[in-house]
Chain A
Amino acid sequence: MSSAIDPALIEEAAHWFVLLASGEATTDDRAACTGWRTADARHEAAWQHISLATARLADIPRQHAHASLAALTTCGKDKRPGRRRFLVQLGILCATGVTAWQGWRHSDWSADQRTAIGEQRDLTLADGSQLRLDTNTAIDIEFSASARLIRLRRGRIMVATAHASSPAPRPPFLVESAEGRVEALGTQFVVQQESGSTQVTVLQARVALHASLAKGSPPILAAGETARFGRQGIISQEAARPGSSAWIKGILVADDMPLADFVAELARYSSTPLECAPAVRQLRISGTYPLVDTEEALAAIGRILPVSTRPLRPADPAAGVIVVAR
């Protein structure tokens, strides 16, 4: 992975991780860690390295933790040491034009890419298309002769498809969510997997929406439009809110935004849970806030609105933070 990062710094970051994972870390501990992270970009890179390395554990749903733990510990007795992780960049495999090998199984051979909470990452695909992965996002890249397919398992991605270098027709570019597929029609767009629906925003040109259970010709979404769709089809469609794609630049643009929505958006980038007290959910907020520094963003709203933050459970700072009336 990031071999450019100094191992000594990774070790320092690991010490911070172990300190904060104790379940008894104090607010001071957390502040000290944030201080260390922000003191130097290399510190932050080392921290991200640790976060990413341990992010796989966050994929296990809470209610499955116990069964998973049992599987991982009862099953670990008779193992040979040193099995290596095997990664295949399938997008690159297919870019060579080799299409003879069908039958790879999705779970084994897909090119997993994921970001940790608070992380964004850029990828260039084998066909030259660009992806931006938002915080806490997981995708599989599956390119074949019949389709250039990105499976969005969770989170949000921005796609900028490459301009064709030759007039030869290329396989369709598709982003697949739990609800269906978004087909690029020469374009730049954002797809977000939400709970039970998919949000699509078109930045340039158009996309076609193929909801998995919908019949008939797929609806087309044009630049500047946003739509939420379920398996049956479009649930809502409207003009995209200005600034709704500012996350690409690491910024949250609020324009008379309900505080509840603001905090929910911020929470996606925060490693500690964030909540909004019912009494202040309807307060409105405007302005531009950093997504990369959720603490700073929370401090900023405290200067604008009559709200402040306090720990969700005073005895356990790791439980998260709640925004309450001041």
Chain B
Amino acid sequence: MNAIASPQPVAELYREHHGWLHGWLRKKLGCTHQAADLVQDTFIEALLAPSLDEVREPRAWLTTVAHRIMVNYLRRRELERAYLDAIASHPEPLACSPEERALIVEALYEIDTLLDGLPTKVRQAFLLSQLEGLTYAEIAGRLGVSLSMIKKYMLRATLHMAGIVRP
């Protein structure tokens, strides 16, 4: 586990930089409240950074961190929209409380992150198996590839999720 930066440099960093960072994020996102949230997230990450003292260009460093946080946030929002669209076009209405929805979107985000970097067909095969419960034969039919290919896809996705990337 990484050591935690002492709060002092972070407090200084915050005083000096939160103004422009907020402005930068607000311009990108078009929403001052959302920008304020992401500024907080960025400084929490600064607080957790193992070697904050060694950061020579705090402005560049903060921009990099904030950019990544923003990309992740936008990705989450994109997933949520796609999910809500799919629900809206569902033949039967799906009952779902806001809490449930938040939990599902959170799970989707994590699954998406775990599957990140896999080719589309590999993702599809794995999700059809694990989310929809289709058999490999059904998935092969759906994706138009051979059964043995589905098994390869499944193995690749499983290893990828387990943190093992094969060449």
Q: A53-B114, A79-B116, A105-B37 are in contact. Are A72 and B106 (CB under 8 A)?
A: no
Q: Given the complex, which residues of B lie within 8 Å of A301, measured CB to CB?
A: none
Q: How many residues of A contact B (CB 8 A)?
A: 60
Q: If A74-B82, A83-B71 touch, does A68 touch B131 (CB 8 Å cutoff)?
A: yes
Interface residues of B in 7-35 (CB under 8 A from A): 7, 11
Q: Closest B residue to A80 by CB, please name it.
A: B71
Q: Given A7-B164, A14-B158, do A21 and B124 touch, yes or no (CB 8 Å)? A: no
Chain A residues whose C-beta falls within 8 Å of the C-beta of B164 in the assembled complex: 7, 10-11, 14
Interface residues contributed by chain B, number (CB under 8 Å): 65
Q: How many A-B residue pairs have CB under 8 A?
A: 178
* Partner among A53, A67, A88 whose Cβ is within 8 Å of the Cβ of B90: A67
Q: How far is the CB of B85 from chain A (nearest CB, A)?
A: 8
Question: Chain A: which residue is nearest B113 at the CB level?
Answer: A85
Residues from 69 to 105 in A contacting B, C-beta threshold 8 Å: 69-77, 79-83, 85-86, 88-89, 92-93, 96, 98, 100-105
Provide the residues of chain A in CB contact with B79, threshold 8 Å: 71-72, 75
Please name all residues of chain B whose beta carbon is closer than 8 Å to the beta carbon of A108 when the two chains form the complex: 41
Known contacts A71-B83, A81-B116, A59 near B107 by CB under 8 Å: yes
A101 contact from B47, B78, B104, B130, Cβ within 8 A: B47
Binary interface profile of B, 123-138, with partner A (CB < 8 Å = 1, else 0)?
1100111111111111
How far is B110's CA from A64's CA once the two chains are assembled, in angstroms? 16
Which of B72, B78, B136 lies in contact with A83, CB distance below 8 A?
Answer: B72
| Alpha-carbon distance A76/B108, docked complex (angstroms) | 12
* Interface SS of chain B: helix
Known: A14-B155, A72-B131. 9 other contacts (CB 8 A): A10-B162, A11-B164, A56-B107, A56-B114, A69-B128, A71-B86, A79-B75, A98-B7, A107-B106
Seen from chain A, the residues whose Cβ lies within 8 Å of a Cβ on chain B are: 1, 7, 10-11, 13-15, 17-18, 21-24, 49-50, 53-54, 56-57, 59-61, 63-77, 79-83, 85-86, 88-89, 92-93, 96, 98, 100-105, 107-109, 153
Please, could you name 14 A-B residue pairs with CB atoms under 8 Å apart, sorted by A?
A1-B163, A21-B129, A23-B138, A59-B103, A60-B104, A63-B94, A65-B132, A69-B127, A81-B117, A85-B113, A92-B4, A93-B48, A96-B4, A96-B7
